[in-house]
Structure formats: structure tokens, C-alpha cells
Amino acid sequence: MSARPGFYRQELNKTVWEVPERYQNLTPVGSGAYGSVCSAYDVVLRQKVAVKKLSRPFQSLIHSRRSYRELRLLKHMKHENVIGLLDVFTPAAALKDFNELYLVTNLMGADLNNIVKFQRLSDEHVQFLIYQLLRGLKYIHSAGLIHRDLKPSNVAVNEDCELRILDFGLARQTDDEMTGYVATRWYRAPEIMLNWMHYNQNVDIWSVGCIMGELIKGKVLFPGTDYIDQLKRIMEVVGTPTPDLLQKICSEHAQKYIQSLAYMPPQDLEKIFRGANPLAVDLLKHMLVLDCDGRISASEALAHPYFSQYHDPEDEPEAPPYDQTLESKDRTLEEWKELVFEEVNSFKTVVCTAAEIVAQVSTQCAMALRSSRTGFYRQDVNRTGWEVPERYRDLKQIGTGAYGTVCSAWDRRTGAQVAIKKLHRPFQSKLFAKRAYRELRLLKHMKHENVIGLLDVFTAEIALDRFKDFYLVMPYMGTDLGKLMKLERLTEDRVQFLVYQMLRGLKYIHSAGIIHRDLKPGNLAINPDCELKILDFGLARQADAEMTGYVVTRWYRAPEVILNWMHYSQTVDIWSAGCIMAEMLLGKPLFKGNDHLDQLREIMKITGTPIPEFVMKLQSQDARSYLRSIPKVSKKDLHTILSKASPDAVSVLEKMLLLDPEERVSASESLELPFFSEFRDTDEETEAQPYDQTMDNTDLPLDQWKRHTFTEILTFRPPKDSRETTL
């Protein structure tokens, strides 16, 4: 039993942790020289957090001063791309008992080091990650700070490809005297290696260049084995220093060492980064400069054309200056300890009673609606007024279509990036109203890792008579398969993993009695961890509803849709999945028809013309007449078309791309094929609850569709862990 009310004790890795009851399910995730970290569930914020227990924070003057600096730096950082403090606590109620210190921050999951080990990043991913890294660095540098230890493992990335800079244990103010060997060798700026006594913020820019180069190449740029080898590898790329640069080096020993080296000319970075985006290489040329005075700053780098799609000067904030006067003084250990204790007690955090927590959960949806006057704000997005809760900030348009506009946003409650869709005039007609109602109910029904689901739904109106707009909040994924395939050729093992996830999601959708009907690369969202979610149920219909053609993008459209069968089945989605898989393997669309008839011709060049028995199944007399009139074409061997694909991969396509939908493999059967054997886990291939289609098939007046939609919004309950927003 803890001596302090509201705290409890738990032993983790032979160390006793004493934490507030708001932090549950402590699980060790890492340890280092200065502390151990556990993940925990914060019952107040309703999210997972990272809790760091500092190792013996007051065992010496150096430790005490370092603990004070780390705490103050974390308290000072208030930026999306820099780790900040959610809470700080000690079980000690009085200064005399104060010996333990715990820091609570966002739990990010992976770091760049883990990501680079397991996957090669696309240029789009590199662009977004380095933009965020520089955006965070601009903020840090504007406070007058230098990080000094930037490396992939100190750059955390969550499932939405959102980045935060970690670990300010080594950060120091700009005007402090600097000594070398603080950064991991491979990312260490040459001026640190050369032992300049007064280096500047551009040491961090060198580290960013090394990290960016590693993301592009898929391996460490300067993997030196020791001090001497590290310098040698750097100079083999950037060249030996010029006489002017040599004069700047304060260390006579360093000058003599460099003068003893053979001359090395700078290499052409285009050759080192062959195939990379030329703008990326140009940026690296401005970062990996031997003379730190010639290096680009974080602020200047953000304005580089490489980041043109992300750069927004108004959304790249600077920090208030960091007051370093308190840290620069000589103090006794007890004085440092007292200062830390004061910082802990002065920190403002979220505090709720257990009853308040329960009340928050039970009334969350209704409160969001009732707070329309005080809890919402207005913002114009592409000349359209959006009215959203204060919890969603930094709206940025990322897409628009016939039925709605989508913005990314920052959810201040969860710390996650989300996608918010505003439906276009959902109640302008009975048809629109029914469609909006169906989309909302389908999203509410979907609860699967590989299918997009609903994190939140809201309207700014508190009364039905004023209800005209509503917004759907979903996980933000970052990119889609269409964009990914434009940027890189996928390896077969990645195709295997992506198609497995697509079929796993389709099995779930189909088990609910639903057909997607619009499967295409642009409707398959992918995060940097290669995790996939099926998007966009705007066109989805129940399996027994009447079907009409031309709903899916032509290249992925099943032949029975083109031939206008009135009652087609879930296997239309299997045809689309086959087209997508073939495109991933080939690097180009398999059936690239120019129009309705050309699409059929392209299909039959490979499948062959249909046999008479198949033609007899067609309900459309026009379709039967057309097929009987065209010249007979023999079926092609898919092994010849996909000569570089494995036999197991081609076997999957042979079972999907069949003209007769009744002969096509189902999603569930596809998952059993040998091509997916390494991923198969039948316990993880779940089915959905049947989707109740009664309301969808009802003919109601517009005002009743509106009323039912309003009720669906009011009765929505968010997922238990609404941070489950897969990169």
C-alpha cells in the first residue's frame, strides 16, 4: 500500500514504481542510462501514455541539474512535432521525502530506427517525415536551444506518420560552451568531431541530413566504426575542408590531422542518391555542408521546394525564448532538488474525480452537440464554412469529391491526426439524404483493422429543425495505394501483405452482407507501416439490393457490371481485388480500357471470350447480342503476362479474374490460398455482425431521413480507444 492517498505501488523489472491511480496497466517499454519508460493507460485523458521514471535523479549535482533541465525543457515544449509534458508527479508529499520523479508524455509507438529496419520508405513518406522533423527543429531552435542528439531512435513516429522529436536529456542552450561526442557517431556533425568549442544549431541540421539520407537509401549514410573512420567516411562524400574552413577550426590538433589527410574531392550527391527525387537531393546538398556556417537553417529548409505541398509559414510556429538563467547558476544538490520539487508542484495537469470521468464518457456525444455556441469554431475550407468542435484543430484540406470534402485535423484530446469529412449538402434531396444516412450507418457498423471505421460524428446544430450539415471523423492514414504505386514499384512480399489485408477486410465486409462496389487503389488507404484500410462506403450496398452498373472506376470494374446484370454478387469486389493485385505486380493497370466497349475488349484479350453457357446467364439481351457478335479470342496464360511473379501469386489471380462470377473465389476462400500462408491466422480473420438493411430499403420522405440521421449522431459512442488510428 502506498503511503500517499491516490497512488499505488507496482514492481516492474525489480524496481518499485509508485504512481497515481489514473495511470493503469503499466507495461515496460524501454530503459536507458537516465531512466526507465512504461506505457500506461490514462483513465482521465482516455489514452495510452508513456511514463518515465528517472533513475536516481538526485544522486549527484550533475544528476540533479540534469533532472531539472529535462523537466523544464519538457514543460517549455508545446508543439505538435516535439515531445511535451502531459503530467509530472512524485509520490512524495513533502520536500524531505522527495527522491523519485516521473514524467508523463505522449506514447508514440515506433521510432524512425524501427521503421527504417523493416521497410523502405517512399519519397512521399520521406517528404512528410522530414518536413515534420524540420518543423519541430525550427520550434526548438527558435527557443534558443540545440538538440545535439538527433538520430532515428530519438524521432518517434505514430501510426499516422506523425512525428515528434524526443529526448532532450542532452539538449543545451545555444550560448553554452559545447563539447564533442554527445550525438551518436553516425549522425554527428563534423564540427563536433573536430572539437569546435562553440558550435551552433546547425549541428542538428547535419543530423537531419544524415537521417534523411538514410531514409532515402535505406541504410546509414556514414556508418563509421570509430572517430577516425567516421571523419574519413564524411570527407569521402563532402570532400576535405577548404583552407578557409580550416582556419575556423579552434583545435590545433584537429587542424594538423586534417592537413595530414590526402585531398578528397566532394562527390556528386545525384550519383550517391541515384533515382531519388532531385528536389530531395538538392535539399541534402544544403544540409550536408562541411562548413556549418554554409548550412541551411531549419526555417530556410522548410521553404525549400521539396516541401511545397506542406509548407505553410503560418503553421510553422516559433517558441518563446527558453530562460536559461536558472540552469547556469552553481547550486547545491539540495537547492536543485528544491527547484525540481517546485516545478513539479507548479505544473498544471488535467484532474478529474472518478465520478467526473464516468460522466464525461456517458455524455461525451451529447455534450459535443450542446456546446455548439461555446465549444465549436468556424473556419473556411476551400470557400466552404466548416463548424467543428474545438478539439479538432489545424484543419487542412486533403481531398474533395462528388459527395464530400475531407480535411486532416489534429485531435487535441487524443493527440492523434484524424480525417474529417464534411458531406456535401446531405439533405438537398431524398436521394442524398438516404445516401448520407446509409454512409453513416455503414461506418458505425465497421469495426475491423482493415476497414475504415468511425472515431466521431458531429454536427454544430443542437436542434433538428436547424440540422443541415454533419461531419464524419475517421483515422488519418497518410496515403493510398494509388499514390504509393505511382512513387515506387512494390516487391512481391509487400504485395502479399497488402492484398492479404485487403481480402481480410473484404471477408469482414462481405460477412455483414455488404458489397463495396468501388474497390480501386485510391480507396485503399495505407500508412507507413504498410497497414491497409478499405475506404469509402459511399457507394456500398447490401448484397440483396438491386444493383446497377457503372459505379466503380472503369479499370477495376467487373465484367458483369459492364454487361449490366441487375443482380450481381459480392464477387464483383473479388474481380476488383484481382485487378488491383495484378497492377501491384505489373506496375501498371491490367485492363486499361478507354471506354465502356474498350474495357470489355481489354478484359477479353486476357480472359478470352465467354463460353456459350456463360452468355446464356446474362439477363441483358443487348449484352448477349454484343458478346455473340464479337470475334472469338482465346484465353491468355497469366504466367506469361506476369512472368516475374511467383506461381502462387499468379494462382490467386487465376481464381479471381474469371469472367463467370459464380466461378470466382470468395474473399474467405482467397485467404486460404498458399500465397498468404505466412500471414494466415484464422482467429484474426474475423466476420462482422449482420448489417440490418431494413431502414436502407425503406422509402421515406426527406424529413424522416434527416430525423433518423440526427438520431444516429446523438446515439454514437466513440471507440473505447479512439487513438486506434492506423499510419
Q: Please list the active-site residues.
A: 149
CA-nearest of 466, 458, 454 to 369 is 458
Cβ contacts of 532 within 8 Å, gap of 6 or more = 450, 481, 498, 501, 502, 505, 524, 525, 526
What number of residues does the chain have? Answer: 727
Strands (E), 481-591: 514-515, 524-526, 532-534, 541-542
Residue 395 to residues 140, 308, 312, 405, 408: CA-CA distances in angstroms? Answer: 23, 18, 12, 12, 6
Q: Residue 671 and residue 503: Cα distance in Å, rounded?
A: 7
> Which residues, including other chains, have CB under 8 Å from residue 343's CB and lie 6 or more apart?
68, 71, 72, 75, 88
Place of cell 530562460: 323
Of the candidates 345, 327, 323, which has an alpha carbon nearest to the alpha carbon of residue 88? 345
Return the bridge partners of 417, or none. Answer: 410
Is beta strand 35-42 parallel, antiparallel or unpaired with respect to 47-54? antiparallel
- Tell me which amino acid residue 375 is: G
| 29 vs 114: CA distance, rounded Å | 14
Distance of CA 44 to the CA centre of its chain: 25
Burial 372-397 (b: 16+ CB within 10 A, else e): beeebeeeebeeeebbbbebbeebee
How far from the centroid of its chain's Cα atoms is residue 599's Cα?
Answer: 36
Burial of residue 506 (number of CB atoms within 10 Å: 0-12, 13-18, 19+): buried
| 617 annotated as ligand-binding | no
179's grid cell: 563539447
Q: Is residue 422 annotated as involved in ligand binding?
A: yes
Binding residues: 53, 422
Binding residues for ATP: 53, 422
